[in-house]
Structures are given as C-alpha cells and as structure tokens.
Chain A
C-alpha cells in the first residue's frame, strides 16, 4: 500500500495523559499536513511541513501540541496533558500538488 498511513487508528486516553500519533506520507511527497476534524466540521488546519521544515502552525494550536518531521519523511504529532476538548479525528495528508489523506487517528479523551 503506497498511500498515507496513520497510526494508531484509534486512541483512548485519560485526561492529562500525553499521546503521540504517527503519519507516514506517500514517499515522493515533500509536503505534509496535520488537520483536526470534529463531527459536522471541515478539517481544521493544525500545521504544515515542507520536507523537514515546519513552515506554519495554526494559532489555534496551543503549546500542548507539537509536531515533528525529523528527516522529511514520517511525522509525529504529540499532544501533552490531553483535555476532553482534544477529542477529535486527527488527519494527516501529504502532497506534491494535490493532497492525499490517511485514514486518521480518532482520539477520545475520557
């Protein structure tokens, strides 16, 4: 399978715990995006990488969120001290021009 891969698919965590998600993009794609989506809303932009450089980070993203793409290949998104409001689907996409999405990681904070 040469599509975008995200792990885990589902994550249930207790409030206050840290969680980390991984995204493996399509190999020749140099751009990688993270989005958050809640029910009935469109994907909300979180951050964007071109190769290993994090070019943009949404102002909506608090200091509890951090993302890395250390070698310009896979990326991780970490949420520290999770809150119930962090419950959402976290989507990763990669692109050269057109973006292709992974199946997402559904986070539930209890």
Chain B
C-alpha cells in the first residue's frame, strides 16, 4: 500500500462548481497534514494545513479523519484560477521515519468556463 494515495483525476468541472478531493494515508502515526497546490512547471505552494477539527480558508475547507486515515479538500464556487494539481502531504513519523514529508501524486483539477 502506498504511503499517501490520491485519485489522479483529472477532475473537469465548470466554473462555480463544488469539487472535493480525498487522500488516504497508510501510517496511523502520521502527525501533520497539508494540502499543496502546484501549477504546471512550478514548485508546490502551501495551500493550507489540515487540523483535526477541520479548517476553512475562504472557499477552501480541509478535513481530517484520523480513524479512517483520510484527508479531504473541498473547493466551493470554483474559479478558472483554481486549475492546478492539488497535492496531499503527510508528515510521516514512525516505522523508521523521523519526520519527512511524503507527497501524494496529486489530483489534477481543470475548471472550465
């Protein structure tokens, strides 16, 4: 089982749609969770951290379910500028790991006019 798994997509949605991405992780000892956004041929940029209680930043909502070991990202009222690849990131502790950040392969989102 891969450490961090995401649906690669692509998700093709119209402007204004709500879209949700899920990510599962294999190591129950993982401590920190993040969503990053990556535009084509650019470096990943932090979108938001994911807290146990769930957190919201404008149109973006992130949630963590530790029991089921998954993280979600919800984007409401999607904009053309939201088109990018969204990367799920887990801070891996345990099983020989001392805190490196493991990335999923990313979910590609394309928002159409």
Contact = CB atoms under 8 A, between A and B. Distances in A.
A48 interface: yes
B105 interface: yes
A56 B43 contact: no
A33 interface: yes
Mostly, the A contact residues are: strand
Contacts of B102: 45
Interface in A25-55: 31, 33, 35, 41-45, 48, 50, 55
Contacts of B98: 48, 50, 55-56
A48 B34 CA distance: 18
A99 B100 contact: no
A45 B46 contact: no
A31 B103 CA distance: 16
A95 B91 CA distance: 12
A55 B49 CA distance: 23
A65 to B, nearest CB: 15
A56 B87 contact: no
A97 B42 CA distance: 22
Contacts of B105: 41-42
Interface residues of A, number: 23
Given A42-B87, A98-B46, A99-B46, A56 B32 contact: no
Contact of B99 (A50, A91, A100): A50
Which of B34, B43, B104 is packed against the most chain A CB atoms within 10 Å?
B43
A44 B106 CA distance: 12
B44 A43 contact: yes
A43 B103 contact: yes
Nearest to A44: B103
21 contacts: A31-B99, A33-B100, A33-B101, A41-B105, A41-B106, A42-B6, A42-B104, A42-B105, A43-B103, A48-B99, A55-B99, A55-B100, A56-B97, A91-B44, A97-B49, A98-B46, A99-B34, A99-B89, A101-B44, A101-B45, A103-B42
Interface of B: 6, 32, 34, 42-46, 49, 87, 89, 97-106
